[in-house]
């Protein structure tokens, strides 16, 4: 559910966190951050390695928070300059991918001869002095090199740091398994007990772990590449027109109102309105629509789109972080920092799983020694296998990886998801309420008819209504004002003005009290509508919106305003219905108009003449009955309902208040994206559930197999690797 738009958001900072390997790491970092005074909440994402921290009015300092994270055994730092422009992820993952590739080469290069020596050792031994020892001694030396290389040292250091800070994690489990196997091999080598030396076990574990981390990092890198590619495609310079001349300037220096020239095959640098020229504009980067849109003077173009044919001059309307591309990047970053309910549960489980795994390994060792005659060597192998196979890495990756891919894919489709919780909630929606004006209709109404009541003229009714509504931002008011100006009417400055959201206005014009608005509003304002009822009824039956004008509580005219249905409204409602989502209209317009529009679109449930508080009440009632409800709207009067719904959905062209209250924003006024929202959300939730199931199932099934000796330590490392990779690859299916 969205936050109340009237509540000021707390200050927020984001930190890069390194050294996390599993869900238990995430839980410890969050606890360390939340222990600092001034911290309201902390969300740490394992996949993006980013901590998002909400701070109170007297916040903890950035250095304090970094010290807290380092005190928990992890490294932290601020984002480097420029990271925000590429989501702060691709640079990190590209560098780590290169490091992990080098570590993998070293791991395979050193582990391979160790494993080969282990299998051919009986053939290499001789009766000469030391002839039976040197194959194992060679394995020991190679293992020592492997432990000190980039394939082994970071894991051992991470495990030692976790031990010192008493924060058990995946590195600690792997370090214990590798160290125990290596030390046991050295002890056997020194004491002359050469049977069952475990050097190859340590080498296999490190080889598989490094292979798994390489594949995992490569998958992480690919999840961020699509959105990073959007950010990278933005130009660094633009051509600003000054005094008739085009001057090349950095994009960072563009301000609102600047005039920019955009030529063929050039990326539009900011959001703007075309003031000269025509062009075919490719908006596939931000809407997913592959066919270029023909644009002319007055049309809006968004940052990140490409002029495929033509030459245009635009006036910048939104720049930098406020542009379409800036909002896409920011929305993806923010969405990936918030956890779903399922992820919070998984993190709590993973946070206690490592100590439990160590306990099970110790119990396996003691049980095998005390109750069987298999000997210390077998008991140790089983304990090492339990340590390795029990790593909860897959649990930690299950949800954040899916959320990252889903929000990135949504952004490619022109859908900005505020947080992961909204994605989870959208997947459960079975009921969706849609506002009429600006949502199901184009939101650009025009005056169709003026019925004069009494002795006033058509022009005087329009002048009176337009003068009273000059300060209203409602689309119907804008239509009345436009019609009055087209008729040559000179507007009068009202001496007083008051409005009721979604209902109408009252103003003092030329000494007269003028009411303009819905029939219900005027009726409640003690205006007698008897003489106007026939006109109101006839206009409403045709599906038009009706605005009644009264002077000194006497009706003087009725204005019919037509608002055409969106071309994609009928198809969108039909598609939602096919997805099992029931649709209802909720509007402040009169009953007749609302019913006429609903019939054309195919909506059966209609709530008309609803004020903002009425819309809020309907949404809250449905939610109280256990229904998962979404609300789609674009106006100031829709903000309470947007905030109260399980999922609030609006458009980028909506009012700032509506955008601030909504959980999901559709970049363009494309109602057909509602079906994409529901489908993507449901697939995301389904894949998250699959990931969590397989992660838990893997650990539950694998630990008994390792404890009973069915899975040896080396293969345990391979199984653990495969579980993590399977989770990541399953999440990557969301990209299609």
- Which has more pLDDT, 664 or 563? 664
Same domain assignment for residues 392 and 519: no
Same domain assignment for residues 202 and 340: yes
Return mean pLDDT, the chain.
80
Half-sphere exposure of 660 (CA within 13 A, CB side): 13
Q: 293-295 and 271-282: which strand pairing?
A: antiparallel
Is the pLDDT at 287 greater than 60, yes or no?
Answer: no
For residues 408 and 524, give the distance between their C-alpha atoms in angstroms, rounded to a whole number: 49
Asked, for residue 554, whether it belongs to a domain, the answer is yes
Q: pLDDT band at 72, cuts 50/70/90?
A: confident
For residues 336 and 659, give the distance between their C-alpha atoms in angstroms, rounded to a whole number: 19
- pLDDT of 86 reads 43
Give 240-286 pLDDT, tens digit per residue. Answer: 998 888 888 888 788 888 999 998 888 888 889 999 988 888 876 65
Among all chains, which residue has been given the structure tokens 């927020």?
A: 12
Contact between residue 674 and residue 658 where contact means Cβ atoms under 8 Å apart: no
Q: 431-434 and 582-586: which strand pairing?
A: parallel
- SS3 of 652, please? coil
Same domain assignment for residues 456 and 429: no
The model's pTM? 0.60
Dihedral sign, CA of 529, 530, 531, 534? positive
Distance set, CA 98 to CA 45, 150, 221 (Å): 21, 12, 11
Enumerate residues 6+ apart whose C-beta is below 8 A from 661. 2, 3, 4, 5, 638, 639, 640, 642, 643, 648, 650
- SS3 of 462, please? helix
Q: How many CB atoms lie within 10 A of CB 353?
A: 24
694: left (phi over 0), alpha (psi -120 to 50) or beta: alpha
Give 76-96 pLDDT, tens digit per residue. Answer: 877 644 444 344 555 556 677
Is the pLDDT at 229 greater than 60, yes or no?
Answer: no
Q: What is the token pair recorded at 321? A: 């972080």
- pLDDT of 543 reads 67
CATH of the domain at 638: 3.40.50.1000
- Which helix (H) or strand (E) segment holds residue 40: the answer is strand 39-45
Same domain assignment for residues 149 and 257: no
* Mean pLDDT along residues 508-525: 90
Q: What is the DSSP letter of 490?
A: P
Contact between residue 560 and residue 582 where contact means Cβ atoms under 8 Å apart: no
Contact between residue 129 and residue 224 where contact means Cβ atoms under 8 Å apart: no
CATH of the domain at 522: 3.40.1110.10
Half-sphere exposure of 135 (CA within 13 A, CB side): 21
Same domain assignment for residues 149 and 270: no
Q: Which residues are catalytic?
A: 435
Could you list the residue range(s) of the whole structural domain that residue 20 is in? Answer: 11-79
Enumerate residues 6+ apart whose C-beta is below 8 A from 117. 124, 135, 138, 139, 142, 200
E strands in 217-326: 237-242, 245-250, 259-262, 271-282, 293-295, 300-301, 306-318
Asked, for residue 34, whether it belongs to a domain, the answer is yes
Is the pLDDT at 209 greater than 60, yes or no?
Answer: yes
Same domain assignment for residues 476 and 379: no
- SS3 of 9, please? coil
Give the relative orientation of helices 591-601 and 569-578 as an angle to the nearest 10 degrees.
70
Q: Which of 17-21, 41-45, 586-590, 686-690: highest mean pLDDT?
A: 686-690
Same domain assignment for residues 277 and 373: no
Same domain assignment for residues 648 and 702: no
Taking Cα atoms as reference points, which of 310, 349, 307, 400 lies closest to residue 688? 400
- pLDDT of 3 reads 43
Asked, for residue 63, whether it belongs to a domain, the answer is yes
492: left (phi over 0), alpha (psi -120 to 50) or beta: beta
Q: How many helices (H) and strands (E) does the chain have?
A: 24, 24
Give 127-156 pLDDT, tens digit per residue. Answer: 555 556 777 888 889 999 999 898 888 888
Q: What is the DSSP letter of 292?
A: P
CATH of the domain at 57: 3.30.70.100
- pLDDT of 261 reads 92
For residues 461 and 468, give the distance between their C-alpha atoms in angstroms, rounded to a whole number: 11
- pLDDT of 1 reads 45
Same domain assignment for residues 221 and 341: yes
In which order are the strands placed within the sheet that holds 664-666? 415-417, 664-666, 647-651, 629-632, 431-434, 582-586, 605-607
Give 649-692 pLDDT, tens digit per residue. Answer: 888 766 666 666 788 888 777 888 899 899 998 998 898 888 88
Enumerate residues 6+ apart whose C-beta is below 8 A from 133. 189, 194
CATH of the domain at 297: 2.70.150.10
Our count of domains for the chain comes to 5
Give 312-369 pLDDT, tens digit per residue. Answer: 999 999 887 677 767 666 655 555 555 566 666 666 666 677 788 788 888 888 888 8
Asked, for residue 673, whether it belongs to a domain, the answer is no
Q: Calculate the CA dihedral of residues 16, 18, 21, 27 and round it to 10 degrees.
A: -60
Contact between residue 510 and residue 492 where contact means Cβ atoms under 8 Å apart: yes
Same domain assignment for residues 457 and 517: yes
Asked, for residue 425, whether it belongs to a domain, the answer is yes
Asked, for residue 534, whether it belongs to a domain, the answer is yes
Q: What is the DSSP letter of 602?
A: T
Asked, for residue 572, whether it belongs to a domain, the answer is yes
Last residue of a domain, one of 54, 79, 104: 79
Taking Cα atoms as reference points, which of 71, 74, 57, 58 lies closest to residue 16? 74
For residues 256 and 277, give the distance between their C-alpha atoms in angstroms, rounded to a whole number: 20
- Which helix (H) or strand (E) segment holds residue 724: the answer is helix 713-732
- Which has more pLDDT, 41 or 123? 41
Contact between residue 645 and residue 390 where contact means Cβ atoms under 8 Å apart: no
- pLDDT of 84 reads 45
Distance set, CA 390 to CA 177, 383, 384, 541, 729 (Å): 11, 11, 10, 68, 20
Contact between residue 32 and residue 666 where contact means Cβ atoms under 8 Å apart: no
Give 427-458 pLDDT, tens digit per residue. Answer: 889 999 998 877 888 767 788 889 999 888 99
* Mean pLDDT along residues 30-41: 86
Same domain assignment for residues 96 and 220: yes
Last residue of a domain, one of 562, 580, 597: 562
- Which helix (H) or strand (E) segment holds residue 95: the answer is helix 90-124
Q: 11-18 and 446-452: which strand pairing?
A: unpaired
Contact between residue 339 and residue 43 where contact means Cβ atoms under 8 Å apart: yes
Last residue of a domain, one of 289, 323, 357: 323
Q: What is the DSSP letter of 373?
A: S
Asked, for residue 674, whether it belongs to a domain, the answer is no
Contact between residue 694 and residue 686 where contact means Cβ atoms under 8 Å apart: no
Same domain assignment for residues 145 and 217: yes
- SS3 of 55, please? strand
- pLDDT of 339 reads 58
For residues 456 and 443, give the distance between their C-alpha atoms in angstroms, rounded to a whole number: 29
């Amino acid at each position: 559910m969205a936050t109340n738009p009237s509540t000021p958001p707390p200050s927020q900072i984001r930190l890069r966190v390194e050294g996390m390997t599993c869900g238990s790491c995430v839980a410890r970092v969050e606890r360390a951050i939340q222990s600092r005074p001034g911290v309201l909440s902390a969300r740490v994402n394992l996949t993006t390695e980013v901590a998002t921290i909400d701070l109170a009015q007297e916040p903890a300092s950035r250095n304090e928070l970094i010290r807290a994270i380092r005190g928990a055994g992890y490294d932290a730092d601020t984002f480097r300059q420029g990271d925000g422009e590429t989501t702060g992820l691709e640079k990190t993952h590209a560098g780590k991918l290169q490091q992990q590739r080098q570590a993998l080469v070293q791991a395979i290069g050193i582990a391979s001869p160790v494993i080969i020596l282990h299998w051919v050792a009986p053939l290499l031994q001789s009766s000469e002095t030391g002839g039976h020892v040197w194959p194992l001694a060679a394995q020991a030396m190679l293992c020592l090199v492997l432990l000190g290389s980039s394939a082994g040292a970071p894991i051992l250091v991470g495990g030692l740091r976790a031990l010192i800070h008493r924060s058990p994690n995946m590195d600690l489990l792997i370090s214990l398994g590798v160290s125990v196997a290596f030390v046991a091999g050295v002890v056997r080598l020194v004491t002359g007990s050469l049977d069952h030396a475990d050097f190859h076990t340590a080498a296999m574990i490190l080889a598989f772990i490094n292979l798994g981390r390489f594949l995992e990092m490569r998958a992480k890198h690919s999840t961020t590449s699509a959105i990073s590619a959007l950010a990278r495609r933005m130009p660094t310079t633009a051509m600003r027109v000054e005094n008739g001349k085009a001057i090349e300037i950095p994009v960072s220096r563009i301000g609102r109102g600047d005039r920019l020239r955009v030529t063929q095959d050039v990326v539009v640098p900011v959001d703007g309105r075309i003031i000269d020229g025509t062009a075919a504009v490719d908006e596939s980067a931000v809407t997913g629509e592959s066919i270029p849109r023909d644009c002319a003077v007055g049309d809006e173009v968004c940052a990140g789109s490409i002029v495929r044919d033509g030459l245009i001059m635009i006036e910048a309307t939104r720049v930098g972080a406020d542009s379409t591309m800036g909002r896409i990047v920011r929305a993806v970053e923010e969405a990936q920092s918030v956890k779903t309910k399922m992820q919070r549960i998984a993190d709590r489980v993973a946070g206690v799983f490592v100590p439990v795994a160590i306990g099970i390994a110790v119990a396996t060792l003691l049980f095998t020694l005390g109750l069987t005659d298999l000997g210390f060597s077998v008991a140790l192998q089983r304990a090492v296998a339990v340590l390795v196979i029990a790593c909860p890495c897959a649990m930690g990756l299950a949800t954040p990886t899916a959320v990252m891919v889903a929000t990135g894919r949504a952004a490619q489709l022109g859908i900005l998801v505020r947080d992961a919780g909204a994605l989870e909630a959208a997947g459960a929606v079975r009921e969706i309420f849609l506002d009429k004006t600006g949502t199901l209709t184009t939101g650009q109404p025009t005056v169709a008819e003026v019925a004069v009541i009494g002795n006033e003229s058509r022009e005087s009714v329009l002048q009176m209504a337009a003068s009273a509504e000059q300060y209203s931002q409602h689309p119907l008011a804008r239509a009345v004002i436009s019609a009055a100006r087209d008729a040559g009417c000179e507007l009068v400055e009202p001496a007083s003005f008051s409005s009721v959201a979604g209902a109408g206005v009252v103003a003092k014009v030329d000494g007269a009290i003028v009411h303009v608005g819905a029939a219900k509003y005027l009726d409640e304002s003690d205006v007698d509508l008897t003489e106007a009822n026939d006109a109101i009824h006839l206009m409403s039956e045709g599906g038009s919106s009706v605005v009644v004008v009264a002077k000194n509580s006497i009706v003087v005219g009725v204005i019919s305003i037509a608002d055409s249905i969106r071309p994609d409204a009928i198809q969108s409602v039909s598609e939602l219905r096919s997805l099992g989502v029931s649709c209802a209209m909720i509007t402040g317009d009169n009953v007749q108009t609302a019913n006429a529009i609903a019939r054309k679109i195919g909506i059966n449930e209609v709530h008309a003449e609803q004020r903002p508080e009425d819309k809020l009440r309907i949404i809250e009632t449905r939610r109280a009955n256990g229904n998962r409800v979404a609300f789609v709207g674009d106006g100031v009067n829709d903000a309470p309902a947007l905030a109260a719904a399980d999922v609030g959905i609006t458009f980028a062209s909506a009012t700032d208040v509506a955008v601030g209250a909504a959980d999901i924003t559709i970049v363009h006024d494309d109602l057909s994206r509602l079906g994409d929202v529901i489908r993507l959300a449901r697939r995301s939730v389904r894949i998250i559930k699959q990931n969590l199931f397989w992660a838990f199932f893997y650990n539950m099934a694998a630990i008994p197999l390792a404890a009973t000796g069915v899975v040896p330590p080396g293969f345990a490392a391979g199984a653990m690797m495969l579980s993590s990779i399977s989770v990541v690859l399953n999440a990557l299916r969301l990209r299609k």
